[in-house]
Structure 1
Amino acid sequence: MRFLSRRLVMPSDLNYADSLFGGRALEWIDEEAAIYAICQLETNVLVTKHIGEISFESPALKGDVVEFGLATKKVGRTSITVTCMVRSKATKKTICIADDIVFVKVDPDTREPVPHGKTMAELENQTRTEISTLNMLD
């Protein structure tokens, strides 16, 4: 799982218990997972079809930096299924896991599912290539 995106928990993101509101976390997860799927499939004409089990493990508090890890679980003919983990940047403690997030490529006019033309093997190779070209220090 790659952790490449981060957000700062702001006062407006908090619930009545002064921790990250679950609905805000889910909004962020949907957006981050969509961006990941868009990059994987190289198309922005995707819709969220399903979000499976969601498990909240620990709170995030005001001022915490949270990071999003995403991984591809499965690739279908018109869909991609991903998992997202949200964790604390400082402690690496898991805040939330959202499993089986399914995105479907749709025709922009008809809104009907259409094949994306990618396989799991192609996406794994694409990811390896992207990682090798990143300017990251060891």
Structure 2
Amino acid sequence: MRFHSRKWVKPEDLNPNGTLFGGRLLAWIDEEAALYTVVQLENPKIVTKYISEINFMSTAKQGDIVEVGMEVTKFGKTSITLKCEARNKMTRETILTVDNIIMVNLDETGKPKPHGKTKVEFVKDRLNTKP
């Protein structure tokens, strides 16, 4: 799994227990899934369709750094399915895992649109295409 982003846990990210609010982490994950999908499908028009069961295993506190990792598990006709792990960079513990996040590719009118992708592509490979 590749970890693409890091977030610094700030006071506004905390719940009444003084630990990272789960909703804040889920917002970070949804944003990372969207960014990852936009890059993979080369289309800024995508939406989150489904997020499976979320398994919280540990937490983070103010000052900790949280890393969010994504991995493609399936390419559908109009969708991409991801799995996710968020981990605490300071304690090296997994904070949560999500087995399935389904992101859907959309056309200009907001309807699902086939994307034609079948494998993970890296931007560096797209830039190195030979004429």
Please give the TM-score of this superposition, normalised by the length of structure 1: 0.86
2:32 maps to 32
C-alpha distance in 2 between matches for 1:101 and 1:128: 22
Structure 1: which 5+ residue stretches go unaligned? Answer: 134-138
Separation in 1 of the partners of 2:92 and 2:72? 21
Q: For each residue in 1:16-47, what CA deviation from the matched residue of structure 2 results, as whole angstroms up to 9, or x when unmatched? A: 11110011111010001111111111111101
Q: Which 4+ runs in 1 deviate beyond 3 A?
A: 127-130
How many Å separate the matches in 1 of 2:99 and 2:44? 21
Match of 2:115 in 1: 116
Please give the TM-score of this superposition, normalised by the length of structure 2.
0.90
Give 1:15's aligned residue: 15
Separation (CA, whole Å) in 2 of partners of 1:36 and 1:24: 18
Which ranges of structure 2 fall in alignment gaps of 5 or more residues? Answer: none
Query: Where does 1:50-89 land on structure 2 (aligned, <5 Å)?
Result: 50-89=50-89
How many residues were matched structurally? 126
| Match of residue 45 from structure 2 | 45
| Aligned counterpart, 2:122 | 127
RMSD of the alignment, in Å? 1.5
The 2-side partners of 1:104 and 1:128 are apart by 20
* Partner SS for 1:60: coil
